[in-house]
Structure 1
Amino acid sequence: MTATRRDREEMRELLGGRSDGVPGCGSSMNGNHELQRIHEGPSSKKSGVNGTSPGREADLGTSERCRWSALLLELRGPATSAKQPAASPSMRSRTSKKRFFFAVGLLLILAIAIVVGVNLVAFRGPHCRGMAACLTGGVTYIVDGDTLDVGSTRVRLALVNTPEVGQAGYLEAKDFTSQTCPVGAQALVDEDDGQTAGSYGRTIAVVHCGGVNLNEALLKSGYAELVSYYCSVSEFADQAWTDCP
């Protein structure tokens, strides 16, 4: 016997899927007998309505269900397990790789954020302006209030002048510079674009120590005075601390 597509659809509608048994098709029903009836075709006429007795009609209804059930089980074969198969080693490997690359990506983002943050902090701090020399180094010697050595470079502070040796206020100005930029401290030297020729071999510049503008600090403390003569050429003349006209 060959089951058509229509037969299969009718069986699915009738049974709603496979089950271990159908009500009314227990051990009392002979499965082989039901399969045999599938091949026998329609039975001969019987007495009663439509040729079949009422009791026989109920029995035929049950038998019909059993017949279709047996045929469906025969066509579908053994039931498959609903348990999901375990993940294969290759699948687990792919998952591990995804997690690894995700972690590496997070670390890279964190590293970039740290670098950018450090650069932003540095940008907000003292920095050189203009196109002339810009250097950093340790303070090695204090000459007087307005002159000091940074590394091997002798620096003359731009736009400020302090008393010379033997003049009143010389020691006070030198001590102030020594305290603001002590020997061994790191200094940022920003050469004056307008005075790159220097003065007696000295680099004319603004010096920052510990975030403090030494030139500005000397003027505000009263230990130095503005050299207004150079306001017309100095790169720093436009800054508020100079009071250049």
Structure 2
Amino acid sequence: MTKRRKTKRRAGPKVWLAAIALVTALFLIGDDNPQLRQGLEEMLQEVVTGESPADQQTGNATVIDGDTLDVAGVRVRLYAIDAPEAGQLCRRSGQNWACGADAGKALVSAIAGRQVTCEERDQDRYGRIVGICRAGPENLNAWMVENGWAVAYRRYGGRIYDPEEVVARVAERGIWSSEFVMPWDWRKGER
């Protein structure tokens, strides 16, 4: 029995013509139709790389808290961010405020009634999808961190949202305008 060595095939002219056609279509539609644009981007990825796009969940979203959504009946945890828990309080100007509840409200406003698409990156120990979610072109994970309603969760996402966190911290946005316990410490009982 002989083993066959896999050889990398070069993309032929048909593949390049398909890629050029898809890029042209993307250019022509711009941001006018986000759903069509997303579909074309997925097709382009498959044509160029030969790989299917990552598993995605798309639909109407309900906000569970500042880093968890229900998208068309499926729980999705936002990848690489950690928002204050729904019942978590922060302290600003000597007063407690419901920063956890406000983080959830901020996510509702960022979605603004649009359909959400989440690209699966992982699954957590509770069986939830962990993904990067978008409402239209807006990356909700990045938006939550940049606006100070979540922190970069380096333990699970590395430094992906570090720049957004620096912006929020320097501008004292959201929870960065207050004293707060990191959400992972708050869950452990540090309050």
TM-score, L = length of structure 1: 0.42
Distance 2:54 2:22 in 1: 27
The 1:131–1:165 alpha-carbon spacing in structure 2 relative to 1, beyond 3 Å, is same
Identity level (%): 27
Q: Following TM superposition, where does structure 1 have runs of at least 4 consecutive aligned residues deviating by more than 3 angstroms? A: 114-121, 125-132, 236-243
**Contact 1:126 1:208 (C-alpha < 8 Å) held by counterparts:** no
1:189 equivalent to 2:122? Answer no
* Residues 77-96 of structure 1, C-alpha deviations (whole Å, 9 max, x = no match): xxxxxxxxxxxxxxxxxxxx
TM-score by length of 2: 0.53
Deviations 1:8-30 (A, max 9, x none): xxxxxxxxxxxxxxxxxxxxxxx
Q: 2:143 — aligned with what?
A: 217
- Give the equivalent residue in structure 2 for 1:50: none
1:18-97 to structure 2, matched below 5 A, reads none
Judging by fraction of residues, say which structure has more strand.
2
For the Cα contact (< 8 Å) 2:80–2:161, is it kept in 1? no
| Structure 1 unmatched ranges of 5 or more | 1-113
Report the CA distance between 1:136 and its aligned residue: 1.9
CA distance in 1: counterparts of 2:149 and 2:165, whole angstroms: 14
Structural mapping, 1:102-117, within 5 Å:
117=24
How far is 1:227 from its partner?
1.0
CA offsets, 1:50-101, max 9 Å, x none? xxxxxxxxxxxxxxxxxxxxxxxxxxxxxxxxxxxxxxxxxxxxxxxxxxxx
Q: How many residues align?
A: 122
Asked which structure has the greater RCO (Cα within 8 Å, sep 6+), the reply is: 2
Q: Which residue in 2 is equivalent to 1:83?
A: none
Distance in 1, Cα, partners of 2:161 & 2:105: 28
Match of 2:56 in 1: 134
Q: Which is richer in helix?
A: 1
Q: Quick check: which has more Rg, 1 or 2?
A: 1
